[in-house]
Amino acid sequence: MTETYSIVIAGDGGVGKSSITLRFVNNVFVDKYNPSLENSYRKTLEVDSKIFMLEITDTAGQEEFRSIRDFQLNKSDGFILVYSLFEKSTLDEISSIRDKILLLQNLEKDDLKTKKVPIVIAGNKVDLEKDQQREVYAKETKELSKSWGIPFYETSAKENINIDILFIQCVRRIRQYKQKPVPSHSKKFCLIL
């Protein structure tokens, strides 16, 4: 039986959420930025010899659509948070989104490391590095992802760099998060009076 997981792609407007989603789902790159309210896609993915059905929601990054995004954050299994390597403010926005996920999922910041909350970070548009000056460097995001206990990848939807691994790692983290804790086999006793 195929398990179905819902994954939300979230981040500020113009960071490439739709491009990442369309590259993963249809293996195409869309060059023009067309702000979306919300788009949903389905795709099967094999991870660790098991097939999963992914229901992917590409959320709007604009301020006026935040309540719709928050609704999706509340009911999803996993999250891919996207920022642009060329706009520092978009990295700050994923911090806000992460905090919103923790609040909506009734978690604490320390739960990110201990419970392996299914979040993956994507620093997108690495293909533009030869033409533009970065505002966010890998070292900064690696430190952030380490402090959060969350995997981080630099991606390019245009050149299909690290797109599949975002979804593979998100599925792995969802599976880890959903696993029930194994009961302890410590010695227990019953006292009858």
CATH of residue 86's domain is 3.40.50.300
Q: What angle do CA 5, 138, 164 make, to 5 degrees?
A: 30
168 within some domain: yes
Q: Please report whether residue 193 resides in a domain.
A: no
Task: Name the strand (E) or helix (H) holding 78.
Answer: strand 78-84
pTM for the complete prediction? Answer: 0.85
CA distances from 119 to 3, 23, 106, 122, 137 (A): 18, 19, 15, 10, 20
Residue 185 inside a domain? The answer is no
pLDDT at site 111:
64
Domain that holds residue 64: 3-178
For every one of its 193 residues, what pLDDT tens digit does the chain have, with 9 covering 90 and above? 789 999 999 999 889 999 999 999 999 998 776 666 668 899 999 999 999 999 999 886 555 445 555 566 767 899 999 999 999 999 999 998 888 888 877 777 666 666 667 999 999 999 998 888 899 988 888 998 898 889 999 999 999 999 999 999 999 999 998 885 544 444 555 556 5
Q: What is the pLDDT of residue 106?
A: 75
| CB crowding 69-79: b at 16 or more within 10 Å, else e | bbebbeebbbb
Flag whether 164 is in a domain: yes
Q: Indicate the DSSP class of residue 161.
A: B
Report if residue 192 sits inside a domain: no
Q: What is the number of domains present in the chain?
A: 1
189 inside domain: no
Does 96 fall in a domain? Answer: yes
Q: Is residue 188 part of a domain?
A: no
pLDDT of the residue at 65: 47
